[in-house]
Amino acid sequence: MKRYHGASPLERKRSMPAWLTKPSLVVGVVIVVAVIILALFPQLIATYDPIATNTLASNQPPSAEHWFGTDFYGRNIFSRVIWGTRIDLLIGVLGVVIPFIIGGLIGLLAGYYGGVLDSLLMRITDIMMAFPFTILVITIMAILGQGLINLFIALWLVGWMSYAKLVRSEVLVLKDSEFIQAARVAGFSDARILFRHLLPNVISSAVVFAASDVVMCMLTGASMSFLGLGVQPPTPEWGSILNEGRTFITFAWWETFFPGLFLAVSGVGFSLLGDGLTDFLRTKGR
Binding site for other proteins (CB under 8 A): 24, 126-127, 129-136, 138-139, 141-143, 212, 215, 219, 222-223, 226-229, 239, 242, 246, 249-250, 253, 256-257, 260-261, 263-264, 267-268, 270-272, 275
In Å, what is the CA distance from 279 to each residue of 14, 24, 119, 286?
18, 10, 33, 11
Question: Cα 150–205–112 angle (5° rounding)?
Answer: 85
**Which CB atom, from 10 or from 130, has the smaller least distance to other proteins?**
130
Q: Are 270 and 217 in contact (CB under 8 A)?
A: no
**Which CB atom, from 47 or from 139, has the smaller least distance to other proteins?**
139
Residue 78 Cβ vs other proteins, minimum distance, rounded to whole Å: 17
**Which CB atom, from 99 or from 193, has the smaller least distance to other proteins?**
99
In Å, what is the CA distance from 95 to each residue of 74, 187, 252?
32, 38, 32
Between CA 18 and CA 175 the distance in angstroms is: 31
**Which CB atom, from 63 or from 134, has the smaller least distance to other proteins?**
134
Radius of gyration of the chain (CA): 23
**Which CB atom, from 43 or from 283, has the smaller least distance to other proteins?**
283
Q: What's the residue count for the chain? A: 286
Q: Are 130 and 74 in contact (CB under 8 A)?
A: no
Of 273, 259, 206, 219, the residue nearest 84 (C-alpha): 259
Residue 6 Cβ vs other proteins, minimum distance, rounded to whole Å: 35
Q: Cis bond leading into 9, ω under 30°?
A: no
Residue 233 Cβ vs other proteins, minimum distance, rounded to whole Å: 15
Sign of CA dihedral 263, 216, 226, 249: positive
Residue 272 Cβ vs other proteins, minimum distance, rounded to whole Å: 7
Between CA 219 and CA 199 the distance in angstroms is: 29
Residue 97 Cβ vs other proteins, minimum distance, rounded to whole Å: 20
**Which CB atom, from 47 or from 134, has the smaller least distance to other proteins?**
134
Of 276, 160, 109, the residue nearest 208 (C-alpha): 276
Residue 17 Cβ vs other proteins, minimum distance, rounded to whole Å: 22
Number of neighbouring beta carbons within 10 Å of residue 53: 15
Residue 59 Cβ vs other proteins, minimum distance, rounded to whole Å: 15
SS3 76: strand
**Which CB atom, from 1 or from 127, has the smaller least distance to other proteins?**
127
**Which CB atom, from 30 or from 129, has the smaller least distance to other proteins?**
129
Residue 171 Cβ vs other proteins, minimum distance, rounded to whole Å: 23
